[in-house]
């Protein structure tokens, strides 16, 4: 039960078959070796923007577009623009599409905008839309002056200020979609009217009841994860084999946004808990005793320190003081938003009482996507894209592209 509750808080993973945990040793089965090499973001997004924004009383600054095509960006502006400064600094956004409403995508805790990569490629083939995926503060490549302030209020303001910086008073129609923590931030952003041109709101696999129930045991779950990885490939391999991300293609593009090169020598206590403990091909069963055991342990520690080059970009355990604020009162806040709403869940058991009543009263559309882990949009990007595309066409926010057949759900 405790393990299941974790699925609705931060971007965690489902339990492994047979009770195998992320900290346990897993043997690779026989057969062809799978490719765990990273995939580039440019295979899924058209542009990446490095947006530097400062305090309100600062001078005007520039938006720098990196690796962008010639002429005009999909956001509708030339490759360098000057705007009035805003509150945060150096945010990273990825975008695709040139016309239609904007799909504003907010990732889950510990993840990055790259978690939406495969979904973006699929949704852009289904409907006319523009996609804007943001690295939230403290996540991905975004840099802010106060990266420790991950309160719902601050992150919701960040989202609004980014939209204001990009579009000013002429913001296009926007449909905001958030997963897990990002779903909570999307609700807070909508409720505070930080995005005045908001057309619709979508939340993926997070509800107040199960999220609040999971808080007490979340620290234990975070401690069970490997602290370091020998390479990005090893991080990708762990994410797939542990079940955190069930879609290997998505893992290959998104895990690079979750880990970074270690900035300090790997000599702190506990640093030896690396990916080498979690996934192995072969291991000798015999263990020597006495001095030989001690010698082997020292050699292993030296080897780990030399090879463990990557760690998590954000220490989620240190964000604990904000968890309650992300999720408490979320159901009522979601129901209070006046725009059309969509709730996508990996299982119907996630629905709490307040949302159950709201759904029966027709206050939002709900769809359950079974056989998915918590990272629903990564595990089943085509199913999620189909659900969101259908939601947008149903409410006449956009038009379907040729070949896409909308199947409207009953709820």
Dihedral of the CA atoms 46, 48, 54, 59 (nearest 10)?
A: -70
Instruction: Specify whether 111 is catalytic.
Output: no
Catalytic choice (6, 107, 111, 374): 374
Q: Is 268 a catalytic residue?
A: no
Task: Pick the catalytic residue from 95, 112, 180, 242.
Answer: 180
Q: Which of 205, 213, 352, 379 is catalytic?
A: 205
Whether residue 180 lies in the annotated active site: yes
Closest CA to 211 of 365, 338, 374: 374
Closest CA to 188 of 160, 148, 209, 147: 160
Going by their DSSP bridges, the two strands 365-368 and 341-345 should be labelled as parallel
Q: 11, 374 in Cβ contact below 8 A?
A: yes
Q: Encoding tokens for residue 246? A: 């069930």
CA distance 345 to 35: 29
Query: Rounded to whole angstroms, what are the CA distances from 165 to 12, 32, 74, 158?
Result: 32, 49, 15, 10
Catalytic site positions: 180, 205, 374
């Amino acid at each position: 039960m405790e393990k299941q509750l974790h699925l609705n808080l931060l971007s965690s993973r489902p339990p492994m078959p047979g009770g195998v945990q992320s900290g346990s040793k897993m043997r690779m089965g026989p057969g062809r070796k799978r490719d765990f090499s990273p995939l580039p973001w440019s295979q899924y997004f058209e542009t990446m923007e490095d947006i530097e924004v400062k305090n309100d009383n600062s001078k005007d600054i520039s938006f720098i577009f990196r690796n962008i095509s010639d002429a005009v960006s999909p956001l509708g502006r030339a490759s360098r623009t000057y705007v009035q400064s805003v509150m945060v600094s150096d945010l990273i956004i990825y975008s695709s599409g040139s016309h239609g409403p904007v799909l504003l995508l907010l990732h889950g805790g510990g993840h990055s905008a790259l978690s939406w990569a495969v979904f973006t490629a699929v949704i852009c083939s289904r409907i006319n839309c523009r996609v804007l995926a943001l690295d939230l503060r403290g996540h991905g490549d975004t840099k802010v002056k106060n990266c420790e302030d991950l309160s719902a209020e601050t992150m919701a303001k960040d989202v609004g200020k980014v939209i204001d910086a990009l579009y000013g008073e002429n913001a296009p129609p926007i449909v905001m979609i958030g997963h897990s923590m990002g779903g909570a931030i999307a609700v807070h952003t909508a409720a505070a009217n930080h995005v005045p041109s908001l057309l619709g709101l979508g939340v993926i696999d997070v509800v107040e009841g199960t999220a609040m129930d999971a808080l007490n045991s979340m620290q234990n779950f975070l401690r069970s994860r490997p602290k370091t990885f020998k390479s990005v490939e090893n991080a990708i391999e762990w994410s797939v084999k542990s079940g955190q991300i069930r879609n290997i293609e998505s893992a290959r593009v998104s895990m690079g946004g979750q880990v970074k090169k270690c900035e300090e020598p790997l000599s702190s206590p506990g640093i030896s808990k690396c990916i080498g403990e979690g996934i192995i091909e072969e291991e000798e069963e015999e263990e020597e005793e006495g001095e030989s055991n001690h010698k082997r342990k020292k050699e292993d520690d030296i080897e780990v320190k030399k090879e463990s080059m990557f760690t998590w970009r954000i220490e989620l355990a240190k964000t604990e003081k904000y968890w309650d604020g992300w999720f408490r009162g979320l159901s009522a806040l979601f129901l209070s938003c006046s725009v059309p709403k969509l709730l996508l869940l990996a299982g119907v058991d996630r629905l709490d009482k307040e949302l159950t009543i709201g759904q029966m009263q027709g206050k939002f559309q709900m769809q359950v996507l079974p056989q998915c882990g918590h990272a629903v949009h990564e595990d089943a990007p085509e199913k999620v894209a189909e659900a969101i595309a259908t939601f947008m066409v149903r409410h006449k926010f956009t038009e379907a592209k040729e070949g896409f057949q909308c199947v409207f759900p009953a709820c």
